[in-house]
A and B are shown apart, each in its own frame.
Chain A
Amino acid sequence: MILVYMECRDGKIKKSSLEALSEARRRGDEMGMETTAVLVGHGVNALAPDAFRYRASKVFVLENALLSHYSPSGYTKALVSLIEEIRPEIIFFAATSMGRDLSPRLAAELGVSLAADCIQTVTKDGKLEVRRPLFAGKAFASFTFKTSPQMASLRPNVFPLAEPVEDQGETIKKEVVIPEDQVKDRVVEILKAEGAELDVTEADIVVTGGRGMKGQENFDLLRELTSVLPNSALGASRSAVDAEWIDHQHQVGQTGKTVSPSLYMAFGVSGAIQHLAGMSSSKFIIAVNKDPDAPIFKVADFGIVGDLFQVIPPLKEELKKILSE
């Protein structure tokens, strides 16, 4: 059996969890294994149909009022009790903030190793082999597992969603008994960033500004582009973050976030090696830079040598025109 953790935010299952579930089903079908999902929380029962639509045959629901807010220690205890009962061979998480916080705690409780932030999974001799970046993408390594269950977290935005099917399957509710003192770390509040901007790791399009943006106020130009482009997010190079033009949440690179969107647009980004590591696996890369020798052009599929301040306004109009067609 394969078990996939379904992360719930704002009353729904995260898309990255459904991507992990879709991938699990592909491996499960090859290996002749049942693909199942687990929901943890309070009042999450109603979300099970979404997991069925993305091809879970069973959904386990672990409910307890103490788990109404995320707690790595509490959620781990709940999951361990289920896993010891159903004994899955493979466990997938989405490598989101929650997934990367929770999955290693669970792995350690189960005494198994975990491959984090994987970008590919394959079936090899009936077992799982995964591929993951090292050095933020300066190298890639493949791993098989010597411990069981085989555990991996899968990078968001990399694995295709399955075609949804009719929402049929079996919901299995499990009573979770957790002493209150086992919930050691509690999320008491979620502070949303202003404007509730999309995160660079979850966007299809990332629009990034570098040192060439020249100042904090000019990032509004890029925000205008993201407002035109669907499912897009604002990124930044390390120099822009270090100059305090924009919050570190937006930083792409080896000391920021690693992203693989369909489209990466770099404005005034020189392309330092540690930045390239974080974004060069993007499907298409666009660069606009005054300096024809900027290293970013080496990875760009399409580059414009020119002044970004003169390119962005007509570009915004062209994009608007095309998108309205």
Chain B
Amino acid sequence: MNLFVFVKRVPDTESKIKINHETNSIIQEGLNFVLSPYDEYAVEEALQIREAKGGQVTVFSAGPDETKAILKKCIAMGADEAVLIKDDVSETYDALRTARIISQALKTKYTEFDLLLFGKQSVGADSAQVPSMVAAMLDLPQVNVVTKLEIEGNSGTALREIEGAREKVTFMLPAVISAQKGLNEPRYETLKGIMAAKRKEIPVVTLEELGIHPEELAVGLKLTKMESPPVKESGKIIEDEPGEAAKKLAEFLRQDAKVI
């Protein structure tokens, strides 16, 4: 099995997000960048499939040179190879652009694969679009938000999470899968893995090498404004005995908030 995993470098979930209102962008200084949490499930799933069926796991990411750090983490987890697609354009929140870069790479240079794995969404842009878009561009089946995956020969079955239920989906390989929490338990890097990652050369390919012209990557969404959430005024905090407190709360819900 030739398993490709696509990952993204994002600020960790503990980060406070500050905005530069002149450039309508996130202030990068002081942020701790990590492998996007859902991508860890995608990497782990690829490793488990390789362990069960043999094959190779290659991890890709598009971004600036700093992105190598998360690719090294994937190598330390056990991935065989990693590729950095060099893209110095800062976050556009336009998934179409990212999907075009990935699908072009898969059409021109990295054409041999059985499964394309993604996290169900990146933490930050929260778009959850790239996997479906890549599937469309390559005319492949897709299953998103997957909590269980079984591959048998050249077909697969996956469970995907929907509102209050799970859908069982069947498909043929090659296919696009996006991972949800619950799919597996991502492993920690081993010392051996960390040493291997340190030595590992991560090849860098440019957009030109993939035959992509910058004009093909014109951004389709125009960001007009970026804002922090409104600051909430602090509410009423009470420390009454439980019965009394419960009564006041119920009254508040009915009379002040009018939500019940």
Contact = CB atoms under 8 A, between A and B. Distances in A.
Contact size range, A: 35 or more
Contacts of A86: none
Given A105-B135, A301-B236, A306-B239, 10 more contacts: A113-B97, A115-B221, A144-B221, A190-B168, A196-B165, A248-B181, A284-B259, A292-B239, A307-B242, A317-B246
B224 A116 contact: no
Contacts of A305: 237-239
A193 to B, nearest CB: 5
A314 B243 contact: yes
Interface of B: 11, 13-17, 19, 24, 26, 37-38, 93-97, 99, 123-137, 139-145, 147, 159-172, 175, 180-182, 218-229, 232, 234-240, 242-243, 245-247, 249-254, 257, 259-260
A141 B218 contact: no
Contacts of B170: 185-186, 188
Interface stretch (A19-27, A50-58, A92-100): A92-100
B95 A104 contact: yes
A114 B96 contact: yes
Contacts of A172: none
B128 A113 contact: no
B253 A263 contact: yes
Contact of A322 (B131, B140, B147, B260): B260
A301 B96 contact: no
A315 B257 contact: no
Interface stretch (A28-36, A37-45, A68-76, A158-166): A68-76
A262 B180 CA distance: 27
Contacts, number: 300
A145 B220 contact: yes
Contacts of B124: 134-135
Contacts of B225: 141-142
A254 B14 CA distance: 9
Contact of A314 (B181, B237, B238, B247): B247
A276 B37 CA distance: 18
Contact of A108 (B14, B137, B144, B226): B137
A190 B136 contact: no
18 contacts: A103-B132, A104-B131, A108-B136, A133-B126, A141-B93, A184-B141, A184-B171, A248-B147, A256-B181, A258-B126, A263-B259, A274-B13, A300-B234, A302-B257, A304-B238, A314-B246, A315-B246, A319-B253
Contacts of B134: 108
Contact of A114 (B95, B240, B250): B95
Nearest to A323: B260
A184 B224 contact: no
Given A108-B133, A143-B221, A191 B171 contact: no
Given A108-B96, A306-B245, A199 B164 contact: yes
Nearest to A70: B167
Interface of A: 70, 72-73, 76, 96-98, 100-109, 111-117, 129, 133-147, 184-193, 196-199, 201-202, 204-205, 229-230, 247-249, 251, 253-256, 258, 262-263, 272-274, 277, 280-281, 283-286, 292, 297-307, 310-311, 314-315, 317-319, 321-323
Contacts of A112: 96, 220
Contact of B164 (A196, A204, A274): A196
B145 A97 contact: yes
A302 B144 contact: no
Contacts of B259: 204-205, 262-263, 283-284
Given A97-B163, A143-B93, A280 B232 contact: yes
Contacts of B16: 138, 273
Contacts of B141: 72-73, 184-185
A307 B171 CA distance: 50
B249 A315 contact: yes
Contacts of B250: 315, 318-319, 321-322
Contacts of B38: 255
B136 A105 contact: yes
A142 B223 contact: yes
Given A198-B164, A205-B259, A138 B229 contact: yes
The 6 closest A-B pairs by CB, nearest first: A113-B220, A104-B129, A318-B250, A184-B141, A108-B136, A185-B141
A201 B254 contact: no
B84 to A, nearest CB: 24
A188 B168 contact: yes
A87 B227 CA distance: 33
